Structures are given as C-alpha cells and as structure tokens.
Amino acid sequence: MNKRHTKLLEYITLHGKTEVSALAEYLGTSKVTIRKDLDFLSEKGILKRERGYAVPNDPSDINYRMAFHLDTKQRIAQIAATYVKDGETVIVESGSTCALFAEELAKTKQNVTIITNSMYLANYVCSYTNIQLILLGGTLQPHSQSMVGPLTKDAIRSFHVDKIFTGTDGYSREFGFTGEDLIRADTLSAMIASANHTYVLADSAKFRQTGSVYFLKLEDVYQVITDSNIDLDEKDYLERQGIHITIA
C-alpha cells in the first residue's frame, strides 16, 4: 500500500461512509484513481465498496483495525523484516501489524517459511510465490480470522524456530504484554514456547492500554519494535528489563 492508500483509509475510518467525489477532492486526484484505490483496498478486505461510496468495516473486524495507524504499522513491519534472513522459518501470530510484516517478508526476502495461525495473514500474502505458508489448524475465531484452541496448540508443538513475531492488545509493567481474549492468549503462549526469541510488534498506543488477559511476561521478550511516540520512561524501563527496543 502506498501513502495515498494510507491517507484514504485514515479519512474513511474517521468519517465513515464517504463518497468517491469527496475522497478525490480530499486527496487532490481523479475519481478514476480513487476507484482504482478502492478496488485494491476492497480486494484486500480492508474496506467495503458500495456504488459511489467507500465504507469502513465493522469495528470488531481485523480489517477495521488494520486502518488505524496504518503508516506506523507499515514502518514497524519494514523494520521487523530486517531481522529475518533469506531461507529462514519464522512463526508469525495473527493481527494487522503481523499481516503487514508477512507482506514485507514476501516483498523483500527469498524462500522464507511462515508458520501462522492467522487465516487473515495467509489470505493477505497468498499471492506471493517466493514464500511458503504453513497454516495451523484449529477453531476459527471469525472476528480475528485466526485459529485457536487445543488443535492449534498441538499443531505448533511440531515446530521449533528461532523467532516468533507477535502483536499485542495492551501492556502493563506488572503483567507484561496482554490481550483481550483468553483462548487466543492461551494459544499464543503455546506458540511462543516453540521459539527461542520473541519479537513484539506494537505501535506506541498499545503501551497506553491494558488488556484483561496476560500472555507474555517481560522476561520472555527479546525485542520490541515500536514507534517514536512511545513514552521515554516506558522505553527506559523495558530496556532495564533486558529487552532490545527498536524505534521505527
């Protein structure tokens, strides 16, 4: 996605259902260009099309969350991809930033294998031929389009890799990285156990909210990749815990 796509998504997310003509005026481009942009974004599932309009997705849908802080998430994804070598096998958990990270791997690496529980991620990058996807089985959670539960946990135990990349819903100094769904958090804990090093991909807003379920202690985190708006006191605290911090 380019910068125009990002600005377009941010506008639609803020204003809701928007006419093509309004988007063309806002972005200073033609309606033909906007329609092409909307076709691209709707094929990705990031928004919906109606005749003459663009419509945001349901707020509970992962495609809706993708639109928030998209530019920041893309920068985080680009930095995260630099930590993966050609030919490497990695585990990538579900989430919007993780999907962008997988796409960055597909664009910049060769012969990388991605093990994931995210049907959304698999659909997002399935058109790329230079990566291999291993989609873990399990019970489908429709809102996140991810596989969770006992079958997913059994499947991940067949693998052991050096790196896992995961997102997060929240954070606290006391509990570490947190989520909002108990089953997803339990599944993710099993996935983390199958890797030597855990990389957390999180925009700075995630450090200002606390989820209800914790899944990852700070002592088990190797690296955090975030943006420059992270509170400096929080950054210093994480580094004192021995966590590597990279600012995208």
Give the gyration radius of the chain's Cα atoms: 18
Mean pLDDT of 192-205: 95
Mean pLDDT of 157-184: 93
The token pair at 194 is 């199958």
Work out the pLDDT band at 1, boundaries 50, 70, 90: low
Mean pLDDT of 103-114: 96
Tell me, what's the pLDDT at 8? Answer: 84
In the chain, the percentage of residues whose pLDDT exceeds 70 is 95
- Whether the per-residue pLDDT at 166 is higher than 90: the answer is yes
**Secondary-structure breakdown of the chain: helix, strand, coil percentages, each rounded to the nearest 5:** 45, 25, 30
Each as own residue / partner, the long-range contacts of residues 53-60 (CB below 8 Å, 24 or more positions apart, any chain) are 53/17, 53/18, 53/19, 53/20, 54/8, 54/12, 54/17, 54/18, 54/20, 54/23, 55/12, 55/16, 55/17, 56/12, 56/13, 56/16, 56/17, 60/143
Tell me, what's the pLDDT at 118? Answer: 94
Work out the pLDDT band at 44, boundaries 50, 70, 90: confident
Distance CA(213)–CA(227), nearest Å, equals: 24
Read off the pLDDT of residues 121-151 as tens digits, 9 standing for 90 and up. Answer: 999 899 999 999 999 999 999 878 899 999 9
Read off the pLDDT of residues 49-100 as tens digits, 9 standing for 90 and up. Answer: 888 888 876 655 566 666 667 788 999 999 999 999 999 999 999 888 999 9
Residues 6 or more apart whose Cβ sits within 8 Å of residue 149: 138, 139, 183, 187
Query: Measuring CA to CA, which residue among 74, 73, 2, 79 is closest to residue 41?
Result: 2
Distance CA(82)–CA(118), nearest Å, equals: 22
Q: Could you tell me the CA-to-CA distances from 200 to 16, 44, 164, 222, 225 in Å, in that order?
A: 31, 24, 8, 8, 6
Tell me, what's the pLDDT at 102? Answer: 96
pLDDT higher at 7 or 37: 37
Question: In this structure, how many other beta carbons lie within 10 angstroms of the beta carbon of residue 158?
Answer: 10
